[in-house]
Amino acid sequence: MKLTTAPEPDGRIGAMLSVEGLTVTFPALGSRVIDDINFTIEKGKTIGLVGESGSGKSMTSLAIMGLLPEGAAVEGSVSYWGEQLLGNPDSAMRRLRGDRIAMIFQDPLSSLNPYFTVGFQIAEAYRTHRGGSRRQARGVAVEAMRQVRIPDAERRVDHYPHQFSGGMRQRVMIAMALVCQPDLIIADEPTTALDVTVQAQILTLMSDLQDSTGAGMLFITHDLAVVSDVADSIVVMQRGKTVEQGTAEAIFSWPESDYTRALLAATPRLDDIVDLPEPLRGTR
Amino acid sequence: MTLLPYLSKRFLASVITLLAVIFLTFAVFFWLTPDPAANICGQTCTPDQIHAIREQLGLNQPFLKQFWAFLAGIFAGRAYGAGATAVQCSAPCIGFSFQSGTNVLTTIISRLPVTISLAAGAAVLWLLVGISGGMISAVKKGTWWDRGAMMVSLGGISLPNYFVALVLQYLLVVKLKLLPFPTLVPFSENPSGWFKAYLMPWIVLALMYAATYARLIRANMLDTMGENFMRTARAKGLAPAPILFRHALRPSLTPVVSLFGVEFATLLGGALITETVFGLSGVGKLAYDAIQSNDQPVIMGVTLVAAFAVIIANLLVDLAYSVLDPRVRVASR
């Protein structure tokens, strides 16, 4: 089902990304890792995809990107501005990946190649889709690093991933994802590997950048507290199925399912800490 | 830590290793070999003559004094004997052959072009075959390509190279008459003759190494392809070629560099079996002949030159590593 062959900048109608009845199975293993997932992402909006590990969050993102592991069978529909992505040949998907739909991963250290400078890796994403000389791409990389507020970007562009702190590395990943100004950013646990204070900085940065670029975002996390700040609506997943789905406000105020309530209860909140007995308060 | 102290430290360590190797080599030959004077003199020899030879070569002196003379010879040159019969040997001196009386170092250097031709040609071949074979195996993991390549490599590792040499000679020279029996011609005189002469020795020598390298590259590539940054590369929209050749191959090759440096250097000490089977008069053949005739200074000389090559190679590999792996580079700074 191909409504438009190429996404037009103007005159787009409907949702940017629409996922309908997405189901992923591994026939050889007889397992169903995602079962009938539905959501849409509008431009400038953020969907939080929440669930414990193994609930199928990451599989959902890989299915959208066309990066599922070998042996996976996928059903349903994923359409991007009306263009059906499921079953698209890899060459067509490559044009979208990193250009229109970009990803940010959990562990920025292992997600960056240790053998190349961060500047090269950011520029590589740009040159793959836009071409241009090395020098020009380097300038773009420096600009992208400034945009994610990496200090001294002009010098840092030639450094290797291990020379950065965890938070700065994640900024590099974000710069790499944003360098082609994508419509949609898939962030797979982007703050999980980071310290709490750094987490807050990265979340602020991400929502600032989203405001200025107008990109849509699929924010995947196990931590409901994290999405409470960023998501417009939330999909709660458990064992591949949707448990609950709605606006962020609704989910937080009136959680319907026991699972969502359990997830909410598992999140330490400031008022819980205040209620703790005296000795425990100090250890927190 | 800047690069310079690191370098001088590595250099100092290399010098100490070299001295230790010289000492060990000398000690082994001092205590473990039969009396060189009797050996030089031959079978119809009187004790007086043997004594005179000992006197002339300084063999009757205590161990440390002899070792000191040997060491001095290497770094400053020395004279054998005294007075009118004295023979001057300039540094670096490792002595004279008992058999031919020629300067050992000069002899080894004259044999080096053959050994270098053999080692360099084989190295090009084994790197090409090993790396591409390992890559194909890794990319096509579990297919017949992979199984086939790994079976061939198992064969390459387990077949003794004298056997491979004989089979190749029989097939290519005797049966199919594709190649002449190798006769050595210098590259400068007849490049195609040079190439034909070395082709079989290259294949024989390269086969074993290529097999090991293919397995190593395959394992490294498979490790690398499971890394998170490969997923990032795909998510960026990179085509398969840059993903493979840039993001997967580079990390997989770096550990191979250290192995290659040392193995290549070891070959400069002579590929004994291959040279002997093909009658190539390189350093390996020299060592073989010297062992046959118990020509102690030559055996010692080859041992020292080989050790020297390996030590130098180790130093170069360390330097190369600090250039190739950015993490090492920064840590050493």
Query: What tens digit of pLDDT does each residue of B97-120 get?
Result: 888 888 889 999 999 988 998 999
Task: Indicate whether A21 belongs to any domain.
Answer: yes
Task: Indicate whether A106 belongs to any domain.
Answer: no
Same domain, A77 and A122: no
Residue A92 has pLDDT above 50, yes or no: yes
Same domain, A5 and A57: yes
Residues of chain B that touch chain A, judged by Cβ-Cβ distance less than 8 Å: 227-229, 231-239, 242, 246-247, 250-251, 254, 325-327, 330
Report how far Cα A258 is from the mean position of its chain's Cα atoms: 26
Same domain, A169 and A186: no
Tokens standing for residue B260: 């290659």
| Distance from the A12 Cα atom to the nearest Cα atom in chain B, whole angstroms | 24
Contacts of B325 in chain A (CB under 8 A): 115
Residue A126 has pLDDT above 90, yes or no: yes
| Domain of A146, in residue numbers | 112-179
The reply to whether residue B237 touches residue A67, judged by beta carbons under 8 angstroms, is: no
Tokens standing for residue B315: 């130093």
Tokens standing for residue A196: 């709490």
The reply to whether residue A94 touches residue B237, judged by beta carbons under 8 angstroms, is: yes
Same domain, A213 and A90: yes
Please tell me the predicted confidence (pLDDT) of residue B6: 75
Same domain, A161 and A46: no
Contacts of B254 in chain A (CB under 8 A): 115
Same domain, A188 and A252: yes
Residue A9 has pLDDT above 60, yes or no: no
Task: Indicate whether A196 belongs to any domain.
Answer: yes
Same domain, A89 and A194: yes
Residue A22 has pLDDT above 90, yes or no: yes
Number of domains in chain A: 2
| Distance from the B236 Cα atom to the nearest Cα atom in chain A, whole angstroms | 4
The reply to whether residue A113 touches residue B325, judged by beta carbons under 8 angstroms, is: no
Tokens standing for residue B304: 């020292």
Residue A235 has pLDDT above 90, yes or no: yes
- Nearest CA-CA partner of B225 in B236, B214, B215, B217: B217
Please tell me the predicted confidence (pLDDT) of residue B82: 64
pTM given for the model: 0.80
Please tell me the predicted confidence (pLDDT) of residue A175: 93
CA dihedral over A113, A117, A118, A124, signed as positive or negative: negative
Collapsed DSSP state (helix, strand, coil) of residue B141? coil
The reply to whether residue A113 touches residue B236, judged by beta carbons under 8 angstroms, is: no
Beta bridge partners of A73: A25
Same domain, A90 and A126: no
Residue A158 has pLDDT above 90, yes or no: yes
* Closest residue of chain B to A95, computed from CA coordinates: B237
Is cis: bond before B92, omega within 30 of 0? yes
- Cα separation, A109 vs A194, in Å, equals 11
Task: Indicate whether A223 belongs to any domain.
Answer: yes
C-beta of residue B276 within 8 angstroms of C-beta of residue B205: no
Query: What tens digit of pLDDT does each residue of A130-150 get?
Result: 988 989 999 999 999 998 999
User: Pick from A162, A179, A196: which residue ends a domain?
Assistant: A179
User: Pick from A179, A207, A227: which residue ends a domain?
Assistant: A179
Say which of A95, A110, A125 has its CB closest to residue B228: A110
Question: Which domain CATH number covers A195?
Answer: 3.40.50.300
| Distance from the A254 Cα atom to the nearest Cα atom in chain B, whole angstroms | 37
- Cα separation, A78 vs A74, in Å, equals 10
Contacts of B141 in chain A (CB under 8 A): none
Residue A64 has pLDDT above 90, yes or no: yes
Tell me the backbone φ, ψ of residue A283, rounded to 5 degrees. -80, -15
ipTM associated with this complex: 0.84
B138: amino acid identity, one letter:
A
Locate tokens 């790499």: which residue?
A176
Tokens standing for residue A202: 């990265």
Residue A61 has pLDDT above 70, yes or no: yes
Task: Indicate whether A26 belongs to any domain.
Answer: yes
Give the residue, A234 or B331, on which the prediction is more confident: A234
Residue range A158-179: average pLDDT?
A: 92
* Closest residue of chain B to A162, computed from CA coordinates: B327
Q: Is A131 exposed, middle or buried (0-12, 13-18, 19+ CB in 10 A)?
A: exposed
Same domain, A135 and A205: no
- Nearest CA-CA partner of B315 in B15, B1, B21: B15
- Cα separation, A84 vs A72, in Å, equals 18
Q: How would you label B282-304 residue by residue, b for 16+ Cβ within 10 Å and e otherwise?
A: bbbbbbbebeeeebbbbbbbbbb
Cα angle for residues B28, B29, B33 (degrees, 5° grid)? 110
The reply to whether residue B326 touches residue A113, judged by beta carbons under 8 angstroms, is: no
Residue A120 has pLDDT above 80, yes or no: yes
User: Pick from A152, A179, A206: which residue ends a domain?
Assistant: A179
**Max CA-CA distance within chain A?**
63
Residue range A254-271: average pLDDT?
A: 75
Locate tokens 């190439």: which residue?
B195
Collapsed DSSP state (helix, strand, coil) of residue B317? helix
| Distance from the A279 Cα atom to the nearest Cα atom in chain B, whole angstroms | 41
Query: What tens digit of pLDDT does each residue of A169-227 get?
Result: 999 999 999 999 999 999 998 888 888 888 888 888 888 888 888 899 999 998 888 88
Task: Indicate whether A31 belongs to any domain.
Answer: yes
Same domain, A174 and A190: no
Same domain, A131 and A255: no
Give the residue, B258 or A127, on which the prediction is more confident: A127
* Domain architecture of chain B: domains with CATH: 34-93 (no CATH), 104-331 (1.10.3720.10)
pLDDT digits (tens), chain B, 333 positions: 456 777 788 889 888 998 999 999 888 888 877 777 777 777 777 888 888 878 777 777 888 888 888 888 888 888 776 666 677 787 788 888 888 888 889 999 999 988 998 999 999 999 999 999 999 999 988 889 999 888 888 888 888 888 888 888 888 888 887 777 767 777 778 888 888 888 888 999 998 899 999 999 999 999 999 999 999 999 999 999 999 999 999 899 888 988 898 899 988 888 888 888 888 888 999 999 988 888 888 988 999 999 999 998 988 888 888 778 887 765 544
CA dihedral over B94, B97, B101, B106, signed as positive or negative: negative
Task: Indicate whether A105 belongs to any domain.
Answer: no
- Cα separation, B319 vs B2, in Å, equals 13
Please tell me the predicted confidence (pLDDT) of residue B23: 92
DSSP chain A: -BS-SS--SSS--S-SEEEEEEEEEETTTTEEEEEEEEEEE-TT-EEEEE--TTSSHHHHHHHHHT-PPTT-EEEEEEEETTEE-TT--HHHHHHHBTTTEEEE-S-HHHHS-TTS-HHHHHHHHHHHHH---HHHHHHHHHHHHHHTT-TTHHHHTTS-GGGS-HHHHHHHHHHHHHTT--SEEEEESTTTTS-HHHHHHHHHHHHHHHHHH--EEEEEES-HHHHHHH-SEEEEEETTEEEEEEEHHHHHHS--SHHHHHHHHHS--HHHHHHS-HHHHHH-
Alpha helices, DSSP H only, in chain B? 3-32, 36-41, 47-57, 63-76, 104-139, 144-158, 161-168, 191-225, 228-235, 240-242, 249-268, 272-277, 283-292, 296-324, 326-331
Same domain, A95 and A165: no
